[in-house]
Chain A
Amino acid sequence: GQQLNQSPQSMFIQEGEDVSMNCTSSSIFNTWLWYKQEPGEGPVLLIALYKAGELTSNGRLTAQFGITRKDSFLNISASIPSDVGIYFCAGQSGYALNFGKGTSLLVTP
């Protein structure tokens, strides 16, 4: 499958800070999804994006579908300790999802 480049690989921030992460691809996707995974669990869907340029929010999370359809961004505002986890972007191609390698987020109180 297509490789997605997700950055940064890890982030270590203080509670209350805003967080930004992004995902880029050499291929065009029709759908971008963002997931969060905690230890011992499967990924949990956070936000789904379906149109180029689309900006969607889910509480403190905001994600955007890049205008070129080759990238997507996720922002977390006012981070809290329970935001800790690994965040994955995924681009939909056919009936499969292609995942980035993830951004590991650590939040200190």
Chain B
Amino acid sequence: KAGVTQTPRYLIKTRGQQVTLSCSPISGHRSVSWYQQTPGQGLQFLFEYFSETQRNKGNFPGRFSGRQFSNSRSEMNVSTLELGDSALYLCASSLGRRTSGSYEQYFGPGTRLTVT
């Protein structure tokens, strides 16, 4: 079974620009979560989507948004980029249902975003 894929793997943007990152979950997984990883803050939860609906959201400003498509693929958008948005953005997929094993999240390799 193919794992979680993320595109692009690397991205360099300028302050003020916007960026869209893409995530394809493991086949059969309907939940996609996004995390930001930085050396100072570690792994922080951004939001989670299930069946095209955002079910949970972390403490990030409204510049960070996402969406999920009917095939469970998800995109994350960051508008008006700031230097502090430089980070590794990780996507994770899971079955997403309330049964044992459904909360096991499997991560993609991440997108390394650098804002200059």
Interface residues of A (CB under 8 A from B): 1, 31, 33, 35, 40-45, 48, 50, 88, 90, 92, 94-102
Contacts and interface: CB of A to CB of B under 8 A. Distances in A.
Interface of B: 4, 31, 33, 35, 42-45, 48, 50, 55-56, 58-59, 90, 92, 96, 100-101, 103-110
Given A95-B33, A95-B50, A101-B42, A33 B108 contact: no
B110 A1 contact: no
A43 B59 CA distance: 22
Given A33-B104, A42-B4, A48-B104, A96 B45 contact: yes
A102 B106 contact: no
Given A33-B103, A92-B103, A95-B55, 15 more contacts: A1-B59, A41-B109, A42-B92, A42-B108, A43-B107, A45-B107, A48-B101, A88-B43, A95-B31, A95-B33, A95-B48, A95-B96, A96-B48, A97-B105, A99-B42
A45 B104 contact: yes
Q: Which of A41, A44, A100, A102 has the most CB of B within 10 A?
A: A41
Contacts of A1: 44-45, 58-59
A40 B105 CA distance: 18
Given A1-B45, A88-B43, A95 B110 contact: no
